[in-house]
Amino acid sequence: MDLYFLGTGAGLPSKRRNVTSIALRLHDERGTFWLIDCGEATQHKILSSPLSLSKLEHIFITHLHGDHIFGLPGLLGSRGFQAGEKPLVIYGPRGLEQFVETTIRLSETHLPYRLWVSVIDGGVIFDDEQMTVTCRQLNHGIPSYGYRFEEKPKRGKLRQTLLQEQGIPAGPIYGKLKEGHDVALDDGRVLRSADYLAPPTPGRVVTILGDTRPCDSAEELAEGADVLVHEATYAASEWERAQNHHHSTATDAARTAANAGVKQLVLTHVSARYDEEGEAKLLADAQAIFPATTLAHDHLIINVPRLPG
């Protein structure tokens, strides 16, 4: 599991940063990747990345401002040439379904795959045997959401040495115990799976927030996350401007990370007003509050390691 940053700028694309889009790569876990936001030219960024649209499984849209959705029509059309009939689900706020349907219809774009738009309104929006995705509304000028991607714990390894010490030979019994099933032996003994499995490995948590002022929902979504991705549109010296435009500063992001007890903070959605020196100041301001902070740039990869239980 890792994060691949396709676009890290705010509002307008620049020569150094494209507008917002992040891929959550789940190649080892699912053989796919999920896309969070799809600003203009996202598919062009994908062309210069290791990603392939044929592996795209889900899209999660945080809000309907153009720098987060204007890349959708082109990407959806191009995916049809690469992914065949593989279905695709897009999650996002109310109005997204109208935007997608209208652009596809008016452009007469033919999609050879099934496309669903799932309207979100908070709570659990996706759940299967591997992942749970929860969203909450944040504090922005229009409805904007954050997403918490939570991997389910991985069952512990089978303690084969213990079984061998008890005279139980390798075979189907091992497989049943590993799958979590208790096994009754011919001699009357019952082997409890829990007694022969190592502690489970905790699942990883990634929280990616849409545009927002500091708010309780952001901290709730980020609680204990391995990685928090938070906007840092403005420097601390422009706090009032950030408030007026419904955004956060780098120090706001750092305080959210500290309050939520996350392991790593990644700043993104950086205004084009900042040159390299200004960006260094953004990072320094955040690190003064939360040292484990990284400033994202286009094509940055952030690994999310699986920690032992």
Is residue 289 helix, strand or coil?
helix
Which is catalytic among the residues 28, 37, 67, 128?
67
Please tell me whether 140 is known to bind a ligand. Answer: yes
Please tell me whether 68 is known to bind a ligand. Answer: yes
Please tell me whether 269 is known to bind a ligand. Answer: yes
Ramachandran region of residue 289, left (φ > 0), alpha (ψ -120 to 50) or beta? Answer: alpha
Kindly list the distances between the CA atom of residue 303 and the CA atoms of 180, 211, 306, in Å, as whole numbers in the listed order: 30, 23, 10
Please tell me whether 181 is known to bind a ligand. Answer: no
- Told to judge if 67 belongs to the known catalytic residues of this protein, a careful annotator would answer yes
Please tell me whether 245 is known to bind a ligand. Answer: no
DSSP state of 263: S
Q: ∠ at Cα 282 (290, 228), nearest 5°?
A: 45
Count CB atoms within 10 A of the CB of residue 267. Answer: 27
Please tell me whether 63 is known to bind a ligand. Answer: yes
Give the tokens for residue 292. Answer: 């484990």
Query: Which amino acids are annotated as binding site, given as ranges?
Result: 63, 65, 67-68, 140, 211, 269
Catalytic residues: 67
Query: Which amino acids are annotated as binding site for Zn(2+), given as ranges?
Result: 63, 65, 67-68, 140, 211, 269
